[in-house]
Structure 1
Amino acid sequence: MTAPEDQMGPDRDTEAALWCLALAEEDFDAARDAALDQWLADDGNAAALRRQLALWDHNDALAALPQMLQLRSQALEDFRSRNERRWAPAKRWRLSRPWQALAASLLLIAGSTAIFLLQGSDVEYFSTALGERKTIGLEDGTTLTLDADSAVEERFSQDRRNLVVVRGRAKFDVAKDSLRPFAVTAGTETVVATGTSFSVEKLGTTVDVVLYEGKVTIVRAARNEHFETLQPGQSLALPSSGPLHVAAIEPARASAWTMGQLDFSGEPIAGAVARVNRYAEKPVVLDPSVPGALRVTGVFDAGDTSAFAEGVAAVNGMTVRVESDRLVLTAA
């Protein structure tokens, strides 16, 4: 016996389209978070969601068309009106005819890129010099804070808010806008957020994400991996190879750099030096004799490179060799 059409389960791409819309909602609660984790446990589902996110990511010009903006607005309003019934904990995923129509609308918006001629979003470039920090108000109401020697590209459209951390570190206090998903990319890692506060940093071959408020989802498309969701007060290190590392942080200490201080708590020496050198006219250089496993703890004024080098040397029995253009830390 065949189940009635209204009770038939959706295909993976339809479910993925609905999850894309759910992730764009401002109030992605714990029940939906658990449901998403369960759904993504299936490799086929995870692949379908990656496909839909990729379609959405290349959809800026199409979504800017008035008829498409209207279609997506109607779809989101339909999503909201059915939200309470849709996420009832005791129910399994079932799509009624209206839900099937909603999913079809989303797939149309995502998939029609093959029909319309797409044009790239305007690009704005924000950067800071050595020793300079900058706070920028973006057109959507988001506040961007750039660390020293950092750069971010902004690619906003009427439908999406995409940014790229080119180098250094940036903090994002995101303005809520359910119709315009907010995504930050650094290297091959993408952070998707709505209405939240977080930072993204390129540090060598590692991308570090720190979440201060709200929720973010990390998409590791290049490595074909599961999504990682952070909670406030957590940081996530995403190396180019090897395991991920989630750690608890104190938000006030983790954001100290925005106030001109560098606060290290067991920081690997190479990472600490890289952060200090964003403010250094005369950079710190590690002599090969310095063990890579050495860790740094302490609070330093950004730009006081000599105090950092001398402090690390004093605590670890090392010496500082002052040269014309650099400070060399050497193991005694």
Structure 2
Amino acid sequence: MRNEINAAAAEWVAREDAGTLSPAEAAQLAAWLAADSRHLGAYGRMRAIMSSCDRLYRGEHVPGPASAPAVRPRARVWAWRAAALAASLALVTVAALRFLDDGADTYTTRIGEISRVALEDGSLVTLNTDSRVRVRFDEGHRDIELLRGEAMFDVAKDRQRPFAVTAGGTRVVAVGTSFSVRRSPARVNVLVREGVVKVDEAEQPVLRLQAGDKASLPERRAPVVARVDAVEVHRELAWRDGMIAFSGETLEEVAREFARYNTLRIRIADPDVAGLEVVGMFSATDPIGFSRAAAQSMHLDMALGENEIVLRPRPKKKAAAGSH
């Protein structure tokens, strides 16, 4: 069934790309999309891959496991029909590696990559840097396992199949909502952007979180829930656009956050400097640009090495000879 849906979605995208759909064709497409939530997910995947092909044709870099050949415009419809025949094996979204894992789909991003993955039910998963999820759907369940990192889930409504995200011993269940989950060795963080989710954790009461709730769930300790405003939610989710936002974090904390997105690390060479606070929004993959801005605004010296950027206090100017 999945192959048939993927094939139909690929055919629709190919027909759209070949030219404007007639009113009758547009109505047929709308009816097909509305007939099954899986149709929308498949259609989204095919549109994402078409976008990748367009970028390759224009000579733009598209990150992924390997460079795909550019698709010339005249051959594009044929390429899509061929892709439809192998949709269940070969088609992946831009910037995410996809693996088959015991009947489940596993998606992975490398350091510095952000990926949007359209699932077969119409839900959208946005993977942050160095993250990995395992997706397993059946007739009664939609199960996601966050193996590492962070992901945003925009969930298509399906009351017959709850959408559950597991991160270690934490399970987050939703029907139709938008929320993020971040997994680290010591804790799991959940932020709800829209709707309501249930958070079930071993030996802890079940939490019911609504839009604007942010929960920190440390291991072997009681969870902490806080209310945040829309500005804070936007700041927390800036990574989806390749940005990092800070509102008073120390320079040491900022350096650790940049390390999630880059192999070039920021090293703070003085404990007093490490405690300086940072406010602002910066490109997640530009530690050099951030360090230059920090050095200028905080009166620091910046040294760029092979594998690191070092920030330290500027040396004090020596008093002029003969002065008192």
TM-score by length of structure 1 reads: 0.56
Match of 1:92 in 2: none
Q: What is the rounded CA distance, in whole Å, between the counterparts of 1:185 and 1:290 in structure 2? A: 39
Look up the SS of the partner of 1:257 in the other structure: helix
- 2:190 aligns to what? 209
- Root-mean-square deviation (Å): 2.7
**TM-aligned CA distance change 1:185 to 1:294, over 3 Å:** farther
Name the CA shift for 1:329/1:134 in 2 (closer, same or farther; >3 Å). Answer: same
Query: Which of these residues, 231, 235, 252, is aligned with residue 214 of structure 2?
Result: 235
Report the Cα offset of residue 306 of structure 1: 1.5
Q: CA deviation at 1:276?
A: 2.0
Instruction: Find the aligned partners of 2:148 and 2:279 in 1 and give their Cα distance.
Output: 24
Cross-structure match for 1:138: 119
Closer, same or farther: CA 315–246 of 1 in aligned 2, 3 Å: farther
Alignment CA distance shift 1:269-1:230 (3 Å): farther
Letter in 2 for 1:258: R
Contact 1:142-1:174 within 8 A present in 2 as well = yes
The amino acid across from 1:202 in the alignment is: R
Unaligned runs of 5+ in 1: 1-119
Gaps of 5+ in 2: 1-100, 315-324
Residue in 2 that maps onto 1:17: none
- Inter-CA distance 121–194: structure 2 relative to 1 (3 Å threshold): farther
SS at match of 1:237: strand
Equivalent of 2:258 in 261, 266, 276: 276
Contact 1:201 1:208 in 2 (8 A): yes
In the other structure, the counterpart of 1:187 is 168
Aligned partner (choices 234, 239, 246) of residue 257 of structure 1? 239
For 1:168 and 1:290, locate their aligned partners in 2 and report how far apart those are by CA, in whole Å. Answer: 30
Counterparts of 1:241 and 1:327, CA distance in 2 = 36
CA–CA distance in 2 between the matches of 1:200 and 1:286? 29
Amino acid at match of 1:273: A
Residues 314 and 238 (structure 1), Cα distance of their counterparts in 2 relative to 1, 3 Å cut: farther
**1:162 Cα offset (Å):** 1.3
Contact 2:111 2:130 survives alignment (8 Å)? yes
In the alignment, which residue of structure 2 is the partner of 1:200?
A: 181
By relative contact order (CA 8 Å, sep 6+), the higher-ranking structure is: 1
Identity among equivalent positions (%) equals: 34
1:248 to 221, 225, 228: 228
Q: 2:260 aligns to what SS in structure 1?
A: helix
Amino acid at match of 1:217: K
Rounded to whole Å, the distance in 1 between the matches of 2:165 and 2:123 is: 13
CA 1:283 to 1:316, structure 2 compared with 1: closer, same or farther past 3 Å?
same
Distance 2:300 2:167 in 1: 35
Residue 239 of structure 1, CA deviation: 2.1
**How far apart in 2 are the matches of 1:323 and 1:228?**
47
User: 1:269 deviation in Å?
Assistant: 5.0
How far 1:279 moved relative to its partner?
2.6
User: What is the identity, as a one-letter code, of the residue corresponding to 1:230?
Assistant: L
CA-to-aligned-CA distance 1:210-245 (integer Å, 9 cap, x gap): 111001111111xx0112222212222222255524
The secondary structure found in structure 2 opposite 1:131 is coil
Name the CA distance, whole Å, in 1 between partners of 2:140 and 2:253.
36
Determine whether 1:174 maps to 2:155. yes
TM-score relative to the length of structure 2 = 0.57
